[in-house]
Amino acid sequence: MCGIIGYAGHRPAVPVVVEGLCRLEYRGYDSAGVAFVRQGGLRVMRAKGKLAALEEKLAQEPLATATCAMGHTRWATHGVPAERNAHPHLSNDGSLALVHNGIIENYQEVKADLASKGYVFHSETDTEVLVNLIAERRKSEPDLLHAFAAALREAHGAYAVCLMHSAEPETIYAARMSAPLIFGLGTGENFVASDIPAFLPYTRRVIFLEDGELVRATPAQYEILRLADLAPVEHEAQTIQWDMQAAQKGGHRHFMLKEIFEQPRVISDGLTGRINAARDAALLPELDALPVPRRLHIVACGTSYHSGLWGRHLLEHWAGIPVQVEIASEFRYRDSLLLEKEEMALVISQSGETADTLAALRIAREHGVPVLGLCNVVGSSIAREASAVIYTQAGPEISVASTKAMCSQMLTLALMALYWGCRRNSLPATRRRELIGLLESLPALLDDYLPAMHDRARELSRKYAQARNFFYLGRGHCYPLALEGALKLKELSYIHAEGYAAGEMKHGPIALIDPAFPTFALALDDALFPKVKSNIVEVQARQGKVIALTNPGLDLAVDDPWIIPALPAPLAAFAALPALQLFSYEMADYLGKDVDQPRNLAKSVTVE
Ligand code: F6R
């Protein structure tokens, strides 16, 4: 988590870096800082809290001359959110400054060793240890590049780092290991950052640095080297196709709202080029070279895990492939993973950087099964390490809470089920044609319904804003949606919410129901509707209030019915998902919460 940026160029560097940090704030926002060289010395400015606090400090500072700088926005791992723990960190002699995203696992040992040599530490961070280790290695290795590499070779764990030296005011050094770092090539200026939007206003030409690579850049030159032996590495620069427009709010109050309303576009983009001319087959050339799996193990975290749970229904029903879905942080510590030849792992991750999911990918590869990645971020670690990757093409998702990414993952899973259903002959062409027609109808349908859905979400959020608890209930393909609805509500509004399989309520949780504990039920027009209806009646018999997301013409009496357009199951999820997202969005906004950056969270969870 944390976002880093480094700049070496011809512009006033601190504003460039602060602007970049602003676009990286989704990665962490409990403190921020910048470093630049002034009058031959490193000047470090840091502040606890959001970037605005740092900007206030910087406003008092003469910055004009620096054309090289670096910055950091933090999500605390080692050490509480406080100015002393904010980055950049300085070496004891004040000659080096370092920003870091990741965790140095052996920092305690290194710290003890450095302390025995007289180093003192002013923070609780692993980063301050690393910058002093570089300073120590410099005593025997005066070339900073070599000292930097030597120290990094001793550091175990994950890092993306950027380093500056007081005697080289125009140079940035950077390196990565298991944490994202992208190099941006401008004209007379170069950048490194944790994510592309940080420097997108200045260049779209990028190099995705690999693990174990180090870069040294000045405004006019750069070199990329292998950390192991400092041998030069050649990379071809790629040109990013999306622009700042895609990374900005586009007139909406929050990124989250913009991203919810982008879902019709996400579906049409996700279908483009993936349906054959006869409109009866999905085209996924990424899968052509892989055998159809005998069993699929889906591994993911959070919202991506919910997509996987939903996708299981389609993969089993349409393609006839048995599917196991597991949370990555559990999967990675299982003793008997039962991964056998002819099976396949599918890791789902919007960011492509989630540490647990990446670890699961590596474990699955060690078991010798092909690993398919379903990622949104192009060039991310998971995308690069998977045997094959399918991009979900949702565009940059900035809001910390994931919305359109889930929609794009669901769409891709539906296409995969169609694709394998066709290869396995388990889904007749007529049925495939019908399903493809339905998928193609979704963008227009959602475009029509989203404004009314938003109004209803606003209305219901006002009515239920006093609730301190919520149940979300669903069955079958609606169960993953219940989990997702509850996750969205708790992470955005800090209201306790539990997603539950409706049929499980009677096995204990129903004891919690009383007039102050409302239930949000998913009661759509599908085979399980009568069962869900019975579960709702059981809640009502305990004086529980019920909001029900339901379809026209269904016989259901609840306090607050919320009618959404009917679609055959399981595709009905595409209409239910935005309703759940909008309800949580409105609830959080009404309660005055920070919608795009909820407390304690970060967008990209690169720690275990
Ligand atoms: C919830 C949310 C998280 C992520 C989870 C996995 O709104 O955003 O639960 O879904 O951290 O992230 P990715 O998909 O990047 O692996």
Whose structure tokens read 């709202």? Answer: 257
- Does residue 333 or residue 251 have the better pLDDT? 333
- Is ligand 1 within 6 A of the CB of residue 91? no
pLDDT at 318 > cutoff 90: yes
Q: What is the pLDDT of residue 63?
A: 66
Q: Where in the chain is the domain with CATH 3.40.50.10490?
A: 257-439, 448-590
Q: How far is CA 181 from CA 74, 275, 288, 528, in A?
A: 15, 34, 31, 47
Q: Residues of the chain with pLDDT > 70: what percent?
A: 98
Q: Pick the residue whose CA is nearest to atom 9 on ligand 1.
A: 302
- Is ligand 1 within 6 A of the CB of residue 598? no
Residue 232 DSSP symbol:
B
Q: Which of 37-51, 68-82, 217-231, 377-391 has the highest mean pLDDT?
A: 217-231
Q: What is the pLDDT of residue 68?
A: 97
Instruction: Tell me the torsion sign for CA atoms 600, 601, 605, 608.
Output: positive
Per the DSSP assignment, residues forming a β-bridge with 177 are: 159
Q: Which of 173-177, 331-335, 596-600 is least confident?
A: 331-335
pLDDT at 336 > cutoff 70: no
Helices (runs of H) and strands (runs of E) counted in the chain: 17, 24
| 8 Å CB contact between 382 and 357 | yes
Residue 30 DSSP symbol:
S
pLDDT at 605 > cutoff 90: no
Cβ atoms < 10 Å from Cβ of 395: 20
Angle between helices 404-423 and 263-271 (to 10 degrees): 30
Q: Ligand 1 mean position to 345 CA, how many Å?
A: 18
CA triple 154-157-163, angle to 5 deg: 65
| 8 Å CB contact between 191 and 198 | yes
Condensed to tens digits (0 to 9), the pLDDT of residues 488-539 reads 999 999 999 999 999 999 899 999 999 999 999 999 999 999 999 999 999 9
SS3 448: helix
- List b or e across 14-27, with b for residues whose CB sees 16 or more CB atoms inside 10 angstroms: bbbbbbbbbbbbbb
Q: Which of 12-16, 268-272, 530-534 is least confident?
A: 268-272
Average pLDDT estimate for 559-580? 96
Q: Ligand 1 mean position to 259 CA, how many Å?
A: 15
Q: What is the pLDDT of residue 494?
A: 97
Q: Is the pTM of this model over 0.85?
A: no
User: 599 in the Ramachandran plot: left (φ > 0), alpha (ψ -120 to 50) or beta?
Assistant: beta
Q: How far is CA 382 from CA 267, 389, 594, in A?
A: 23, 8, 29
Q: What number does the ligand 1 atom closest to the CA of 300 have? A: 16
- Is ligand 1 within 6 A of the CB of residue 401? yes
What value does the mean pLDDT of the chain take? 94
Q: How far is CA 414 from CA 312, 349, 377, 433, in A?
A: 10, 16, 20, 13
Q: Pick the residue whose CA is nearest to atom 7 on ligand 1.
A: 401
CA triple 396-400-404, angle to 5 deg: 50
- Is ligand 1 within 6 A of the CB of residue 101? no
Q: What number does the ligand 1 atom closest to the CA of 301 have? A: 6
Among 195, 254, 304, 331, say which to mutate for ligand 1: greatest number of ligand atoms within 8 Å of CB: 304
Q: Ligand 1 mean position to 304 CA, how many Å?
A: 6
pLDDT at 245 > cutoff 70: no
CATH code of the region 3-248: 3.60.20.10
- Is ligand 1 within 6 A of the CB of residue 73? no
Q: What is the pLDDT of residue 198?
A: 94
Q: Ligand 1 mean position to 489 CA, how many Å?
A: 14
Average pLDDT estimate for 201-214? 95
- What count of Cα atoms within 13 Å lies in the side-chain half-sphere of residue 576? 32
Edge-first strand listing for the sheet containing 496-501: 496-501, 469-474, 519-523, 546-550, 560-563
Residue 76 DSSP symbol:
-
Q: Ligand 1 mean position to 406 CA, how many Å?
A: 9
Distance from C-alpha of 396 to C-alpha of 388, rounded to nearest angstrom: 21
- Is ligand 1 within 6 A of the CB of residue 329? no
- Is ligand 1 within 6 A of the CB of residue 491? yes
SS3 421: helix
Among 1, 259, 299, 303, say which to mutate for ligand 1: greatest number of ligand atoms within 8 Å of CB: 303
| 8 Å CB contact between 312 and 325 | yes
Please tell me the chain's helix, strand, coil percentages from 3-state DSSP, rounded to the nearest 5: 40, 20, 40
Whose structure tokens read 């410099």? Answer: 138
Q: Ligand 1 mean position to 409 CA, how many Å?
A: 12
Q: Ligand 1 mean position to 302 CA, how many Å?
A: 5
Could you tell me whether strands 213-217 and 89-90 are parallel, antiparallel, or unpaired per DSSP bridges?
unpaired
Average pLDDT estimate for 576-585? 98
- Does residue 96 or residue 379 have the better pLDDT? 96
- Is ligand 1 within 6 A of the CB of residue 302? yes
pLDDT at 247 > cutoff 80: no
- Is ligand 1 within 6 A of the CB of residue 307? no
Condensed to tens digits (0 to 9), the pLDDT of residues 384-437 reads 999 999 999 888 898 999 999 999 999 999 999 999 999 999 999 999 999 999
Q: Pick the residue whose CA is nearest to atom 10 on ligand 1.
A: 303
CA triple 92-146-171, angle to 5 deg: 70
Q: What is the pLDDT of residue 314?
A: 97
pLDDT at 246 > cutoff 80: no
Q: Ligand 1 mean position to 260 CA, how many Å?
A: 15
pLDDT at 221 > cutoff 90: yes
End-to-end CA distance of the chain: give it in Å, rounded: 11
Task: Indicate the residue type of 253.
Answer: R
Q: Pick the residue whose CA is nearest to atom 3 on ligand 1.
A: 302
- Is ligand 1 within 6 A of the CB of residue 77? no
- Is ligand 1 within 6 A of the CB of residue 606? no
DSSP letter string, 372-405: EEEESSTT-HHHHHSSEEEE-------SSS-SHH
Average pLDDT estimate for 100-118? 94
DSSP letter string, 248-307: S-TT-SSHHHHHHHTHHHHHHHHHTT-B-TTSSSB--HHHHTSPPPSEEEEEE-HHHHHH
Q: How far is CA 185 from CA 138, 177, 203, 237, 357, in A?
A: 29, 21, 7, 8, 30
CA triple 9-232-10, angle to 5 deg: 5
Q: How far is CA 60 from CA 30, 46, 50, 89, 147, in A?
A: 21, 13, 17, 21, 35
Q: CATH assignment of 448-590, given 1.20.1740.10, 3.40.50.10490, 3.30.479.30, 3.40.50.720?
A: 3.40.50.10490
pLDDT at 11 > cutoff 90: yes
pLDDT at 338 > cutoff 90: no
- Is ligand 1 within 6 A of the CB of residue 301? yes
Query: Which of 261, 265, 498 shows the shortest CA–CA distance to 399?
Result: 261
Q: What number does the ligand 1 atom closest to the CA of 382 have? A: 16
SS3 536: helix
Q: Ligand 1 mean position to 603 CA, how many Å?
A: 7
Distance from C-alpha of 127 to C-alpha of 385, rounded to nearest angstrom: 27
- Is ligand 1 within 6 A of the CB of residue 409? no
Q: What is the pLDDT of residue 47?
A: 96
| 8 Å CB contact between 290 and 388 | yes
Q: Pick the residue whose CA is nearest to atom 11 on ligand 1.
A: 302
Among 402, 403, 492, say which to mutate for ligand 1: greatest number of ligand atoms within 8 Å of CB: 402
Per-residue tokens: 305: 């895990």
Average pLDDT estimate for 78-106? 93
Residue 343 DSSP symbol:
E
- List b or e across 297-326, with b for residues whose CB sees 16 or more CB atoms inside 10 angstroms: bbbbbbbbbbbbbbbbbbbebbbebebbbb
CATH code of the region 257-439: 3.40.50.10490
R_g of the chain computed on alpha carbons: 25
- Looking at the annotation, which residues are catalytic? 2, 603
Q: Ligand 1 mean position to 303 CA, how many Å?
A: 5
Q: What is the pLDDT of residue 586?
A: 98
pLDDT at 80 > cutoff 90: no
